A and B are shown apart, each in its own frame.
Chain A
Amino acid sequence: MKRTQFSLGFIVRRSMVHRRVRSLAALLALTVSAAVATTLLTLYVSLNRQLHQQFRAFGANIVLTAPDGSTLPSETLATVRAIAGSESRIVPFAYAVAQTADGAPIVVAGTDFNAARAMDSWWQVSRWPNAAAATPGSPVAAMVGTRAQGFLHGDDFPLTYNGHTLALHTEATLRTGAAEDSRIFIPLAAFTAWTGQSASTLEIQAPGSAAQVEDLLHRLRAALPGVQVHAVRQLVESEGRIVDRTRSLMLSSLVLIALTVGICVLATLTASVLERRRDFAIMKALGSTQHQVALLFLLEAALLALAGAAAGYLLGSLCAFGIGAWNFHATIPPLWQAAPAVLLLNLFVALLAAGLPMRILRTMEPATLLRGE
């Protein structure tokens, strides 16, 4: 028989088309394994970032304060912004104790409303005042804490600080359940014009892990001697622990799922190769060498693995993207590094599945195999 009539490619193609159901089952299994691996890898790699992003809901994790009674130098905000980077949020606060018309003391805070709104998402504000819309001469737009409101008479009220009286108008009410409820917030510019004091506190929300926050803390301390910089330990410690535990949970899930799917795929492929012992025997009986038959089987497996990896990578990236969009409201881009990893994984599983039965079959005589079990 002239072997050239049946090229390797021809045999592989015929073999796969001829056993459509079996090839499809194997392809499905390999696609699922690749998709699962891609999804979990992509998710796991971006998990740290996504999780830390969620902890931004707790607000500032670093607080920078001027020594007792003094204010921060005017260039501090710019310095901190340069050190902390554009991903950090920074809100300045200035505090003064003013008198109401009754002479009761009340804490007035000057701040940047837009910055506070971006950072302190838990502030329940009836309507954020627009600091830019303020017209000179009219009362200053104030955001009044719900507790402080009970100590003022009406929406328009004067406050006195150091002999200077300022007319204010309640533009919005604020509820946080904490100290802010007893305070009145006004734009920082109006605060400085009134009291002559600038910001004494900067609240900084730095992204990233505890180590990154710690690093930023050191750099801020080095750049700003004489200023107290401390981490909000309550937040930083808990965050680290919860992120770590979630990562371990994801990692265990990842290993569990990957193992299950891997074993199922391996078993499926092994069975479908083992089942073809009669093909194997016939080919050998017709004079193929061990080598040629092995090559045929491995080539088939590799082709299926390649197709499965390609389809699985696309499917898995899509799945990770969907989870990111749905759960984290963030974009989880496809991880190109996952492609070679998934391909290698699939090839490994497929070749192992094809190779294992080959070792068993090799030792058997074709005649024994053809006669039956």
Chain B
Amino acid sequence: MFFRLLLESLFRQRRRKLLAATAILLGTATVTAMLAIGTSVGDKLNHELSSYGANILVTPKADTLDVVVGGVSIRPATAGSYLRESDLTKLKGIFWRNNILNLSPELPLHATLTQAQPSQPATVPALGLWFHHTLHYGTESYAMGAPAMHRWWRLQGAWPADAALDQAAIGSKLAAQMHIAPGDSVALNGEPVRITGIVSSGDATDRTLLLPLALAQKITGQPDAVRRVEVQALTKPEDALARRNPDSLSPALHDRWYCSPYANSIAYQIQEALPNAQAEPIRRITQGEGTILQRISGLMWLVALAALLAASFAVAASMTTAILERKQEIGLMRAMGASQFSVASLFFAETALLSLLSGALGYLLGSLLAARVGWEIFHSTIAFNPVLLPAALGMALLVSIAGGAPSVLRTLGMQPAAVLREDG
């Protein structure tokens, strides 16, 4: 009997229920969308922040001191020790391998550049790099290199092929100074090299010749050598634990530290993987990224919270009105002998059923909305988050019952005759 009443009541007089259903649907949709955005914005932003380039720098441990002013190395290129290029695959074997987005090894040198038409040879700084290198680890392969690391570099022409020993790119200021255009042939230490592209960076690279790493190793006579490696990793903002010295932590804390993607712990793992290497987080980038990440995700969380509150109140107000509309029904049921308890349970059951149905629909709509917003803004979709379904349903249930309860209880407290006589 109760269920028949419930079903009858739910599907009759649909216009009256439409208000409540719409309010719950919209409310849960908004809350789901905002929570979905709030939970995924950190992830999306972290990928956006990778445009700042490397956040960890790996150098040989037993190194002589860098003597660099204004991005130009003053010390002769032959001094110092090297890392091994072939060791770099090991970085894809560390605990946080999936957080390592890009590697860019560098080998600086000085080379003599002569143009095709007879002119004065000039000694220019050069840098051996990966351009579109494929790194193999196990069965997987990853595309890595300097152009993806330095997204602010502008290229006119094409990047040299990584395997080519007769191709190079040139910094824009150096190119202008020596009147070199893409496609020109020059001699590098006597060997013919074709300039494939001109790079503008806004920093010291503008005065540098960019060579495939293999060519740079051939010129310096140091096969497999790299001077330093820029690493770009997805990291978690630094917190109190991240700042602690890992060696002073208790075993449990050390494990937590080790298994959190802090820039410090990723650098620590890189050092473990590469013997004789020193890995340091580039604090300017990691600290800045941490600030931005915390502030913007904090903002979106607060806005999601505001949306939750606002939607709750709006839905509660709608429910109050929607139940008030049905005072007469309550009066009639009471007049026909229904107990206060059975009327209340009928109404609450109906409200619960309605809010679950609308809430589920709202969850779907909200997830679609979030995915759409994510695609529009970050060009990557926000996945359906199943954890939000119980949250959305719980919110719908709680708010609609809390919104409806005062009207139901108040009407139940009145004489049925008074309710019926009163106009709706």
Question: Which chain B positions have C-beta within 8 A of A117?
Answer: none
Residue A215 interfacial (CB < 8 Å): no
Question: Which chain A positions have C-beta within 8 A of B406?
Answer: 21
Contacting residues of chain B (283-331) with chain A, CB-CB under 8 angstroms:
283-288, 291-292, 295-296, 298-300, 302-303, 306-307, 310-311, 313-318, 320-322, 324-325
Question: Which chain A positions have C-beta within 8 A of B310?
Answer: 32, 35-36, 257, 260-261
Q: How far is the CB of B190 from chain A (nearest CB, A)?
A: 28
Residue B29 interfacial (CB < 8 Å): yes
B324-357 CB mask vs A (1 if < 8 Å, else 0) is: 1100000000000000000000000000000000
Binding stretch for chain B, among A79-87, A127-135, A242-250: A242-250
Taken together as a complex, chains A and B put the C-alpha atoms of A147 and B373 apart, in Å, by 46
Q: In the complex, are the beta carbons of A253 and B307 less than 8 A apart? A: yes
Question: Which chain B positions have C-beta within 8 A of A21?
Answer: 320, 324, 406-407, 410
Taken together as a complex, chains A and B put the C-alpha atoms of A97 and B70 apart, in Å, by 12
Contacting residues of chain B (27-60) with chain A, CB-CB under 8 angstroms:
27, 29-30, 33-34, 37, 41, 45, 48-49, 51-53, 56-57
Residue A221 interfacial (CB < 8 Å): no
Minimum CB distance partner of B206 in chain A: A230
Q: In the complex, are the beta carbons of A234 and B373 less than 8 A apart? A: no
Q: In the complex, are the beta carbons of B34 and A182 less than 8 A apart? A: no
Q: In the complex, are the beta carbons of A58 and B33 less than 8 A apart? A: no
Minimum CB distance partner of A323 in chain B: B302
Question: Which chain B positions have C-beta within 8 A of A51?
Answer: 295-296
Binding stretch for chain A, among B61-69, B104-112, B246-254: B61-69
Taken together as a complex, chains A and B put the C-alpha atoms of A248 and B45 apart, in Å, by 13
- Which single member of A28, A32, A327 contacts B295 (CB below 8 Å)? A327
Q: In the complex, are the beta carbons of A177 and B52 less than 8 A apart? A: no
Question: Which chain A positions have C-beta within 8 A of B156?
Answer: none
Residue A187 interfacial (CB < 8 Å): no
Contacting residues of chain B (60-93) with chain A, CB-CB under 8 angstroms:
63-70, 74-75
| A234-B150, A261-B311 given; A328·B295 CB < 8 A | yes
Q: In the complex, are the beta carbons of B49 and A242 less than 8 A apart? A: yes
Give the residue among A40, A241, A275, A326 with the most B Cβ atoms within 10 A. A275
Q: In the complex, are the beta carbons of B65 and A242 less than 8 A apart? A: no
Residue A313 interfacial (CB < 8 Å): no
- Which single member of B284, B292, B373, B410 contacts A178 (CB below 8 Å)? B284
Q: In the complex, are the beta carbons of B317 and A264 less than 8 A apart? A: yes
B380-424 CB mask vs A (1 if < 8 Å, else 0) is: 000000000000000000000000001100100000000000011
Taken together as a complex, chains A and B put the C-alpha atoms of A116 and B61 apart, in Å, by 28
B142-159 CB mask vs A (1 if < 8 Å, else 0) is: 000000001110000000
Taken together as a complex, chains A and B put the C-alpha atoms of A95 and B66 apart, in Å, by 14
Residue A123 interfacial (CB < 8 Å): yes
Minimum CB distance partner of B51 in chain A: A238
Give the residue among A36, A264, A279, A319 with the most B Cβ atoms within 10 A. A264
Question: Which chain B positions have C-beta within 8 A of A245?
Answer: 48, 377-378
Minimum CB distance partner of B295 in chain A: A54
Give the residue among A123, A248, A257 with the most B Cβ atoms within 10 A. A257
Question: Which chain A positions have C-beta within 8 A of B69?
Answer: 95, 97, 107
Q: In the complex, are the beta carbons of B283 and A107 less than 8 A apart? A: no
Question: Which chain A positions have C-beta within 8 A of B284?
Answer: 58-59, 120, 122, 176-178
Give the residue among B30, B286, B325 with the most A Cβ atoms within 10 A. B30
Contacting residues of chain A (2-47) with chain B, CB-CB under 8 angstroms:
21-22, 25-26, 28-29, 32-33, 35-36, 39-40, 43
Q: In the complex, are the beta carbons of B288 and A59 less than 8 A apart? A: yes
Q: In the complex, are the beta carbons of A233 and B152 less than 8 A apart? A: yes
| A182-B65, A257-B310 given; A22·B324 CB < 8 A | yes
Residue B19 interfacial (CB < 8 Å): yes
Chain A, interface residues (CB within 8 Å), range? 35 or more
Question: Which chain B positions have C-beta within 8 A of A235?
Answer: 52
| A25-B320, A29-B313, A268-B317 given; A105·B67 CB < 8 A | yes
Minimum CB distance partner of A237 in chain B: B152
Residue B281 interfacial (CB < 8 Å): yes
Q: In the complex, are the beta carbons of B67 and A263 less than 8 A apart? A: no
Q: In the complex, are the beta carbons of B23 and A105 less than 8 A apart? A: no
Q: In the complex, are the beta carbons of A264 and B74 less than 8 A apart? A: no
Q: In the complex, are the beta carbons of B314 and A265 less than 8 A apart? A: yes
Question: Which chain B positions have C-beta within 8 A of A168?
Answer: none
Q: In the complex, are the beta carbons of B306 and A275 less than 8 A apart? A: no
Question: Which chain B positions have C-beta within 8 A of A264?
Answer: 22-23, 26-27, 311, 314-315, 317-318
Q: In the complex, are the beta carbons of A148 and B65 less than 8 A apart? A: yes
Question: Which chain A positions have C-beta within 8 A of B369?
Answer: 256
Question: Which chain A positions have C-beta within 8 A of B64?
Answer: 104
| A36-B310, A65-B70, A179-B68 given; A237·B51 CB < 8 A | yes
Q: In the complex, are the beta carbons of A105 and B65 less than 8 A apart? A: yes
Q: In the complex, are the beta carbons of B152 and A260 less than 8 A apart? A: no
Residue A206 interfacial (CB < 8 Å): no
Question: Which chain A positions have C-beta within 8 A of B296?
Answer: 51, 54, 242, 246
Q: In the complex, are the beta carbons of A268 and B19 less than 8 A apart? A: yes
Residue A201 interfacial (CB < 8 Å): yes
Give the residue among B57, B202, B321 with the most A Cβ atoms within 10 A. B321
Taken together as a complex, chains A and B put the C-alpha atoms of A121 and B287 apart, in Å, by 8
Q: In the complex, are the beta carbons of B377 and A267 less than 8 A apart? A: no
Minimum CB distance partner of A59 in chain B: B284
A-B interface, 9 closest residue pairs, ranked by CB to CB distance from nearest: A264-B314, A122-B287, A233-B202, A58-B288, A29-B317, A57-B291, A177-B280, A278-B423, A25-B320
Listed by A's residue number, 11 A-B pairs whose Cβ atoms lie within 8 Å are A21-B406, A25-B324, A177-B284, A178-B57, A179-B68, A233-B203, A245-B378, A257-B303, A263-B22, A264-B26, A267-B23
Contacts A177-B281, A249-B300 known; list 16 others, CB within 8 Å. A22-B321, A59-B284, A95-B69, A107-B66, A107-B69, A122-B288, A175-B283, A234-B52, A242-B292, A250-B303, A253-B34, A256-B307, A256-B369, A263-B22, A275-B321, A323-B306
Binding site for B on A (CB under 8 A): 21-22, 25-26, 28-29, 32-33, 35-36, 39-40, 43, 51, 54-55, 57-59, 65, 95, 97, 104-107, 120-124, 147-148, 151, 175-179, 181-182, 201, 230-235, 237-238, 241-242, 245-246, 248-250, 252-253, 256-257, 259-261, 263-265, 267-268, 271-272, 275-276, 278-279, 319, 323, 326-328
